[in-house]
C-alpha cells in the first residue's frame, strides 16, 4: 500500500522484504511459514486522492484505504481463526487500521506501536492529509474516526496502547495524545531508562488485562543511519542493537503476541536493500531468534 502518503515507493516494501529472505529466516527460527501473497491495492496514479468520502479533501485516498483495510482485517481474522500467527508486511502504516481491526475482532487487544511518529492525527488536525499519519487515531476511533465503520473501539482500549521511540509529533497530535490514555515512551525515555526497560513497560501496558498484544513495527523507529530506506525518516532514532533488544523483548513474550506488522520499508530510498534485510532480522528476533540459538 502506498496510498497513506504522497507517492513514495513503500508499496515495494513487501517485495523487498521477501527478497531479503523473510520466509527462509522465519523457518530457520522454527516456524512454518505460508506466504498468502499480496492484497490488491489501487495504484495511486490511477486513483483520485480526494474522491468522494466522508472526510473529503482532509484525508487522501480515505475510501480506498478503508476498503483495503476491511479486506486486510478479514485476512488477519481468518489467519488467527486457522490457528496461525498473522505477520503483515507494509506498505505504509495505514495498513495498521486493518491489521488491528482483524486481530481485535474476537479478543481484547493491546497494541505496542514502535515508531518515530505519533500517527495520531485526524482529518481535522492533519497538516498533510496523509492517512499513514492518522492510523493509530483511526484504529482507536479518535475524533472523526469515532464512527462504527472506522473504529475498532471499544475492543482496543487506549489504556492498553503503548508507543515506543516517538520523536516527531505535530502540534495537534501532541494535544490529542496528551488528552488520551495512550502511554507514550519517547526517545528521551529510552535515553533515560534504556530500551529493554521501556519495552518491558510498553508490553505491560499492552497485556494488562487483555487477551494479547499486536506489535506494530514502523521501520522509522530506527535511526536513518541504520534504516535509510523508510518512507519518513527522522534523525535520533534507535540503534541497531536497541531495535534488536526491543524485538527480543517481543520474542520473550511471543505467547502473548497475537499479531505483528512491519511497515514503511521504502526500497527506492534504501541502500542495497539493507532496510528490508534489517526488517527480516528484526522479525526473526521478535519470533524468537537468539544469538546462541
Residues 181 and 203: beta-carbon distance below 8 Å: no
Residues 95 and 261: beta-carbon distance below 8 Å: yes
- Number of residues this chain uses to bind Mn ion (CB under 5 A): 4
Residue tagged active-site, from 264, 270, 277, 281: 264
Nearest approach, Cβ of 218 to Mn ion (angstroms)?
A: 4
Q: Does 93 sit near Mn ion (CB under 5 A)?
A: yes
CB under 5 A: which stretch of 34-42, 49-57, 117-125, 185-193 binds Mn ion? Answer: 117-125
Binding to Mn ion (CB under 5 A) within 216-245 occurs at: 218
The 3-state DSSP class for residue 166 equals strand
Q: Which of 77, 115, 189, 248 binds Mn ion (CB under 5 A)?
A: 115
Residue tagged active-site, from 2, 117, 144, 248: 117
Supply the DSSP string of 29-79, one letter for each residue: HT-------PPP---GGGS-TT-S-TTTTTSTTHHHHHHHHHHHHHHHHHH
Q: Does 214 sit near Mn ion (CB under 5 A)?
A: no
Report in angstroms the alpha-carbon separations of 55 from 60, 122, 126, 131, 148: 9, 10, 12, 11, 15
Residue tagged active-site, from 11, 25, 173, 220: 220
Catalytic residue flag (residue 264): yes
Catalytic residue flag (residue 93): yes
Q: Does 261 sit near Mn ion (CB under 5 A)?
A: no
Residues binding Mn ion (CB under 5 A): 93, 115, 119, 218
Amino acid at each position: 500500500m502506498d496510498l497513506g502518503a504522497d507517492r513514495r515507493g513503500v508499496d515495494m516494501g513487501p517485495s523487498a522484504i521477501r527478497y531479503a529472505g523473510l520466509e527462509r529466516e522465519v523457518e530457520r527460527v522454527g516456524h512454518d511459514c505460508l506466504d498468502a501473497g499480496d492484497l490488491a491495492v489501487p495504484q495511486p496514479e490511477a486513483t483520485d486522492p480526494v474522491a468522494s468520502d466522508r472526510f473529503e479533501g482532509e484525508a487522501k485516498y480515505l475510501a480506498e484505504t478503508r476498503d483495503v483495510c476491511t479486506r486486510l482485517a478479514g485476512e488477519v481474522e481468518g489467519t488467527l481463526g486457522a490457528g496461525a500467527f498473522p505477520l503483515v508486511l507494509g506498505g505504509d502504516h495505514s495498513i495498521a487500521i486493518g491489521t488491528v481491526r482483524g486481530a481485535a475482532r474476537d479478543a481484547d487487544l493491546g497494541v505496542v506501536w514502535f515508531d518515530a511518529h505519533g500517527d495520531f492525527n485526524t482529518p481535522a488536525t492533519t497538516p498533510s492529509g496523509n492517512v499513514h499519519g492518522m492510523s493509530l487515531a483511526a484504529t482507536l476511533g479518535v475524533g472523526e474516526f469515532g464512527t462504527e465503520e472506522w473504529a475498532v473501539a471499544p475492543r482496543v482500549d487506549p489504556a492498553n496502547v503503548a508507543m515506543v521511540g516517538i520523536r516527531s509529533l505535530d502540534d495537534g497530535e501532541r494535544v490529542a495524545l496528551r488528552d488520551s490514555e495512550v502511554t507514550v515512551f519517547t526517545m528521551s525515555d529510552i535515553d533515560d531508562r534504556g530500551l529493554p526497560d521501556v519495552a518491558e513497560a510498553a508490553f505491560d501496558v499492552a497485556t494488562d488485562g487483555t487477551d494479547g498484544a499486536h506489535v506494530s513495527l514502523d521501520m522509522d523507529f530506527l535511526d536513518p543511519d541504520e534504516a535509510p530506506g523508510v518512507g519518513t525518516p527522522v534523525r535520533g532514532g534507535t540503534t541497531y542493537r536497541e531495535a534488536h533488544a526491543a524485538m527480543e523483548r517481543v520474542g520473550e513474550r511471543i505467547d502473548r503476541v497475537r499479531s505483528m506488522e512491519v511497515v514503511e520499508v521504502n526500497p527506492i530510498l534504501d541502500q542495497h536493500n539493507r532496510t528490508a534485510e534489517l526488517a527480516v532480522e528484526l522479525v526473526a528476533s521478535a519470533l524468537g531468534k537468539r544469538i546462541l540459538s
